[in-house]
Structure 1
Amino acid sequence: MTPQMTLDLFADALWLVVILVTVIILPSLLVGLLISMFQAATQINEQTLSFLPRLIITLAMVMWAGPWIVTRLLDHFRMIFEAIPQLIGTG
């Protein structure tokens, strides 16, 4: 296993994590921004007002994108598992 192979595997895994986290967190950030703009416009400074909608959106995204996320993780694991002979140099 060369250092380049290690870096490629690490880069692929890191990029996969970034994509999966973005799918879950980005909608929550957008909802938080909208609620913050509403709070600024109405001068309501209640921190719990933004927590529940962001939590609901995050959970909804996990439920909606969950099958896709699991599929991407399993595909990545399968790719690594099938490449083990080449990675250790016996294939």
Structure 2
Amino acid sequence: MLTPDIAVDVVTSALHAVMLLVTVLVAPGLIVGLLVSLFQAATQINEQTLSFLPRLLVTLLALSLAGSWITSYLMDFCVEIFQRAAQLVG
């Protein structure tokens, strides 16, 4: 039987997984965006492409480097959720 404690535990672990995976992909782009913005402010270059392209490239690089880890993490998480569901049923 699904109790509120079990539901809260499942939702908490799902939110933890989402935050971890999003942080791995977004944090490098944020850091590069900050560095490019500081460079633009120092040189007074206001080019939109200069801020977009490095962030895009770093995000794609982070995705390619962490892609296998992300996939294995999500697969392990799904297996864990299905095992919990099997325990709840019987």
TM-score w.r.t. structure 1 length? 0.93
Cα distance between partner residues in 1 of 2:29 and 2:4:
37
The residue type equivalent to 1:64 in the other structure is: L
Q: Point out where structure 1 has 5 or more consecutive residues left out of the alignment.
A: none
Cα distance between partner residues in 1 of 2:50 and 2:11:
39
**Identity of aligned pairs, percent?**
53
Cα distance between partner residues in 1 of 2:47 and 2:33:
13
| 1:59 alignment counterpart | 60
State the shift of 1:86 in Å: 2.1
The residue type equivalent to 1:82 in the other structure is: Q
Aligned residue pairs, count: 89
| 2:5 alignment counterpart | 4
Q: Point out where structure 2 has 5 or more consecutive residues left out of the alignment.
A: none
TM-score w.r.t. structure 2 length? 0.94
| 1:82 alignment counterpart | 83
What CA RMSD, in Å, does the superposition of the two structures yield over aligned residues? 0.8
Cα distance between partner residues in 2 of 1:49 and 1:60:
17
